[in-house]
Structure 1
């Protein structure tokens, strides 16, 4: 694996596990088994530039996965349930949800720069766009689809944060069960 990709992969996992503030450059350097010079060669502006690269990588990974799941189901409701069930399975088998969320990173948003906030906003916008497109295809107006997409994003991301905080998949299980009893097309 190329050094830059290695740094991004390891730093992404560390940021997800410990948050942006909880991870120091020395820890990233040690885990990557590289020199400080190598890190700064790839990320001359340091930790924040690395975080933005990690968010970009996560954005691609997460949205490709969501797009794939949503293309496999006829309704947004069925796709959302399948996606939540996948996250639950990941949590129950691995004990974490790293690689599928950036919620643990962005929980510290108040202390981050506009560039980082913009990277996070772009990912949330992409996710909401996937949800909204599916809902529009089901006949819901664009305005209503955008509103429901925001609700879905907030609910799922909040459920992920609760899972990580409570160390149980129960919050996502409850969300999945409630979604099965609810119609997104009302």
Structure 2
């Protein structure tokens, strides 16, 4: 793995685990065994630029993962439940949800940095759009699909954060039991 990729992968994991403000450049450098010069060679604007690249990478990874899950299921209900089941299994296996949740970064940085807020917004918009498209293909009206996609995005992201704070998969399991009822009602 090249230095730039190593910096991105390591920083992404650290930012998700500890938040942006709690991760210092020295921690990233030490974890990657590289110099400050190497970091600034690849990211001339420093830590915030690295964060934005990490968020763009998360955007791509999450989008790819959701598309793969959705392509295996014809119904929106089955696709969403499969995705939530994957999150539950990952949480129960490792005690955390790395790769999907970035709320800690949003809550820390969205009001402090417009470029970071924009990167976070793009990630949420992409997730919401994938849900929207799946609902549209199942015959939901544009208005219903849009509203349900927003509800799903907020519910699933919130449930992931609750899983982390409660150290329990119960919030995601609860969402998995409630969403099918919402999907039946609002076509």
TM-score of the aligned structures, taking structure 2 as reference length: 0.95
Residue by residue over 1:68-107, the C-alpha shift from the partner in whole angstroms, topping out at 9 and shown as x without a partner, is 1111111111111110110010011011111222223222
Aligned residue for 2:84? Answer: 84
Residue by residue over 1:114-147, the C-alpha shift from the partner in whole angstroms, topping out at 9 and shown as x without a partner, is 1000011111111111100011111111122111
| Inter-partner Cα distance in structure 2 for 1:140 and 1:42 | 45
| Inter-partner Cα distance in structure 1 for 2:29 and 2:183 | 48
Aligned residue for 1:173? Answer: 173
Aligned residue for 1:116? Answer: 116
Please give the secondary structure, in 1, of the residue aligned with 2:44: coil
After the TM superposition, list the runs of 4 or more consecutive aligned residues in structure 1 that deviate by more than 2 angstroms: 109-112, 179-186
Aligned residue for 2:75? Answer: 75
Aligned residue for 1:105? Answer: 105
**Contact 1:103/1:160 (<8 A) preserved:** no
| Inter-partner Cα distance in structure 2 for 1:5 and 1:19 | 20
| Inter-partner Cα distance in structure 2 for 1:184 and 1:102 | 29
Aligned residue for 1:56? Answer: 56
Aligned residue for 1:4? Answer: 4
**Contact 1:148/1:184 (<8 A) preserved:** no
Higher relative contact order (CA 8 A, sep 6+): 1
Stretches of structure 2 that go unaligned for 5 or more consecutive residues are none
Length, aligned pairs only: 186
- Deviation for aligned residue 1:174: 1.1
Stretches of structure 1 that go unaligned for 5 or more consecutive residues are none
- Residue 131 in structure 1 maps to residue 122 in structure 2: no
Aligned residue for 2:145? Answer: 145
RMSD between aligned residues: 1.3
- Deviation for aligned residue 1:185: 5.2
- Deviation for aligned residue 1:166: 1.1
Please give the secondary structure, in 2, of the residue aligned with 1:183: helix
Note closer, same or farther for the CA distance 1:133–1:110 as it changes in structure 2 (3 Å cut): closer
| Inter-partner Cα distance in structure 2 for 1:164 and 1:157 | 11
